[in-house]
Amino acid sequence: MSERTATIASRVGLHARPAAIFAGAVGALDLEVTIGLEGDPIDDAMDASSILSLMSLGAGHGQVVVLRAEGAGADEALESLVAILETDHDAAE
Amino acid sequence: MQSFTGVGVSPGRIVGSVRQMPKAVSEPPAGELLASSITAEDAAVALRAAAKAVQTELKERSVTATGAGKSVLEATALMAADPMLIKGAVKLITNNGTSAERAIWESAASVAEILHNLGGYMAERSTDVLDVRSRIVAELRGVPAPGIPASDTPFILVADDLAPADTATLNPAIVLALVTSGGGPQSHTAIIARALGLPAVVAAVGVDAITDGTEIYVDGAAGSVTVDPDADQVAAAAAWATTALTLAVFDGNGVTADGHLVPLLANVGGAKDAVKAAAANAQGVGLLRTEFCFLDRDEEPTHEEQITAYRGVFDAFPGKKVVVRTLDAGADKPLPFLTDASEPNPALGVRGYRTDFTSPGVLKRQLAAIAAAAEGTEADVWVMAPMISTADEAGDFAAMCAEAGLTNPGVMVEVPSAALTAETILGKVNFASLGTNDLTQYAMAADRQLGPLAALNTPWQPAVLRLIQLTVAGSLAEGNQKPVGVCGEAAADPALAVVLVGLGVNTLSMTARALSAVGAVLNTVTLAEAQRLATIALAAPNALEARAQVRAELPVLDELGL
């Protein structure tokens, strides 16, 4: 099992637009990726390809989340996903 | 020839074919199980297919949509086939044998509740989840999706009533007219129709039975709807098309036949509206709704954001009056950071100026931003507070304006107590503006949105006219000739506009679309005639008679098809 932490960079948190970008990126992978708040039990982790899961996680700006995946290429995949979460997508506009 | 009578809320005569707006999707009964002929696997497959179909349709619509409507459609398309939503439903189907419709209903309800409990922005998105749910259930049942039908050919939309959200998907190039079985003269349907310049009839009982594709004639002034129109009606519709063209322009000078000046101003909701209103020759802005700056937000806009938003409006009217109404949140315009959505009676709750009691600071900061935006522009900036009930409130507001450096404070008169005490209130501020929509709902104790109360809810009610007369009398008694204007939907009705002028109202503010019609009719009457018509309306036994008697004295209305 690969595991990475990421700090949410979007100023309003993981809301619709950043969540959509992230969910799209997860959906394009051939891996099952989960996301949970740092410190939460691993069983509470949610499907990272679901925009509604991401939104209901309620992760705010500056909060730390844990990404987990298993299988070939998991390390590289998580690395790229961390980069997405640590980008402020609201600053692009 | 079958016909229906309702309330005409936006003039125009048109012939077209009917498209019914699909009914809202009903809740599948709690505990509904799979039919014995369907396996859980098949039901899950059907559910996934329905979700995918809804997603595809929303995606396709988002391609052609623009602005706010586009981003809403894109977000809801993503939600439609979301794994969390679908997995939750499939679990119910597999474990409990729940029907697919009921399963998606419950799954979406729990997702929506999670989002709702997060508050703020996420809470607002919970309605998107519920919208997606309705679409998926409609798809599973094989019935049309809720909302305005998608079509390439023009049609007359027949509905129960429209919601503000429907505006985003209403294409005025395709929808020819609006007819509703519910709603009243102040309903959202009426406001949308006037803003878009679409003929509209509301509260026409029975129109929901007209089948799709039926040809009908709609007269938005008379309030009538006729199935299979005759040659005369087809000719009337053709004549209206010509009149509409000649009525399209206002010359920028509101004046009666004998030269009494009545500036005609525009109601605007932002810079875009203001530019349009200026192009339509509005003589200023009688009502700048500042909610546009605050709606769809979970926190207060910054000082700089507010300045930019207000300045966009001021810049469109150099040398002209712009009346800014401070934030009017609450009741039908809730704001998460300001109003309490759980109030048992929001129309009588903490709304308008009253939000300053519970959330002090927001109004003060707004006044500071208005003052900063006014600096360096050529607009003549006036400021007024909504929902003022007492002279003390008016005095407090005037003091706050003075502190911010705003020299022309005023109040909205929309609570009957303010009309009754106009003299003392005007002793504290410089002007009054009658908000006839709310004044009517409060005077008649009739909710603006309720179809069955449409007959009560019209500013033609002699009681409402009397309150307007009292407000003008209060200004006269105060003695400093402080102006009294009207900025409600009443000012957009050309016949009622004449009555208002006769009652002594100084300015009329309306949707920019109505300027030309009101200006044209006003031009044909003298001030003395307007006063005579006002006396007739005040003495009428009821609203219908008041309207009928005044209209009978204004043959120009029929000539123009208004």
Interface confidence (ipTM) of the complex: 0.82
- The total of other beta-carbon atoms located within 10 Å of residue B80's CB is 26
Contact B83 A20 (CB under 8 A): no
Q: What digits encode the pLDDT tens for the residues B390-441?
A: 999 999 999 999 999 999 999 999 999 999 999 999 999 999 999 999 999 9
Q: Best interface-test mutation with A: which of B73, B82, B133, B136 has the largest number of A CBs within 10 A?
A: B82
What is the reported pLDDT for A90? 61
**Sign for the pseudo-dihedral over CA of B151, B156, B162, B163:** positive
**Residue numbers of the domain that contains A52:** 2-92
Distance (Å) from the C-alpha of residue B117 to the closest C-alpha of chain A?
9
Work out the pLDDT band at A92, boundaries 50, 70, 90: very low
What per-residue confidence (pLDDT) applies to A93?
41
Q: Which among A88, A93, A92 has a CA at the least distance from the CA of A11?
A: A88
Q: How far apart are alpha carbons B483 and B540 in whole angstroms? A: 27
As its CATH architecture, domain B3-21+148-246 has 3-Layer(bba) Sandwich (3.50)
3-state secondary structure of B236: helix
Task: Suggest the residue from A22, A31, A56 to mutate for an interface test with chain B (most B CBs closer than 10 A).
Answer: A56
* CA–centroid distance for B24 within its chain: 21
What is the strand order of the sheet B3-5 is part of?
A: B3-5, B224-227, B215-219, B13-20, B155-159, B175-180, B200-202, B7-10
Q: Which residues of B lie inside 8 Å of A (Cβ-Cβ)?
A: 74-75, 78-79, 82-85, 87, 111, 114-115, 118, 121-122, 125, 129
Instruction: Write out the binding residues of B for Mg(2+).
Output: 414, 438
Task: Residue window 15-34, chain A: list those with CB within 8 Å of chain B.
Answer: 15-16, 20, 23
**Least CB–CB distance from B82: residue in A12, A51, A58:** A51
**CA torsion sign, B41 to B43 to B47 to B49?**
positive
Q: To the nearest whole angstrom, how far is the Cα of A11 from the nearest Cα of chain B? A: 13
Question: In this structure, what token pair is assigned to residue B120?
Answer: 């703020």
Q: In what order do the strands lie in the sheet with A46-47?
A: A2-7, A64-69, A33-37, A46-47
Question: Which chain B positions have a beta carbon within 8 Å of A47's beta carbon?
Answer: 83-84, 87
Q: Do B83 and A47 touch (CB under 8 A)?
A: yes
Tokens of B287: 């009502």
Cβ neighbours of A50 in B, within 8 Å: 82-85
Round to whole Å and give the CA distance between B378 and B15.
46
Contact A53 B83 (CB under 8 A): yes
Domain chopping of chain B, boundaries: 3-21+148-246, 40-141, 264-512
Can you point out the beta strands (E) in B210-301? 215-219, 224-227, 264-268, 284-289
Annotated binding site of B for phosphoenolpyruvate: 289, 325, 437-438, 448
The pair of structure tokens assigned to B205 is 């009982």
The amino acid at residue B104 is: I
For residue A90, the chain B residues in CB contact (below 8 A) are: none
Q: Is A89 a catalytic residue?
A: no
Contacts of B84 in chain A (CB under 8 A): 46-47, 50, 52-53, 56
Cβ within 8 Å, pair A56-B121: no
Which residues of chain A make contact with B129, given a CB cutoff of 8 A? 52
The residue among A46, A55, A90 with the most chain B CBs within 10 A of its CB, best to mutate, is: A55
Condensed to tens digits (0 to 9), the pLDDT of residues B428-484 reads 999 999 999 999 999 999 988 787 888 899 999 999 999 999 999 999 999 999 999
Compute CA A51 distance to the chain's CA centroid, rounded to the nearest angstrom: 10
The answer to whether A52 contacts B129, with C-beta atoms less than 8 Å apart, is yes
Cβ–Cβ < 8 Å for B107, B92:
yes
Q: Tell me B330's DSSP state.
A: B
Q: Which of B87, B111, B118 sits opposite A58 (nearest CB)?
A: B118
Q: What is the mean pLDDT of residues B541-559?
A: 93
**CATH number of the domain bearing residue A19:** 3.30.1340.10
Q: In the CATH hierarchy, which fold is given to the domain comprising B40-141?
A: Enzyme I; Chain A, domain 2 (1.10.274)
Mind listing the pLDDT tens digit for each residue in B2-45? 999 999 988 899 999 999 998 888 999 999 999 889 999 999 99
Instruction: Report whether pLDDT(B376) > 60.
Output: yes
What is the CA B337 to chain-centroid distance, rounded? 22
Q: How many CB atoms sit inside 10 A of residue B352's CB? A: 25
Return the number of CB contacts < 8 Å for A and B. Answer: 45
Q: Name the range with the highest mean pLDDT among B124-128, B363-367, B447-451, B485-489.
A: B363-367
B264-512 folds as TIM Barrel (3.20.20)
Identify the pLDDT of residue B452.
86
Counting the structural domains of chain A, the total is: 1
Cα dihedral B79, B81, B84, B85 in deg (nearest 10): 80
Contacts of A46 in chain B (CB under 8 A): 84
For tokens 């530019």, the residue is B275
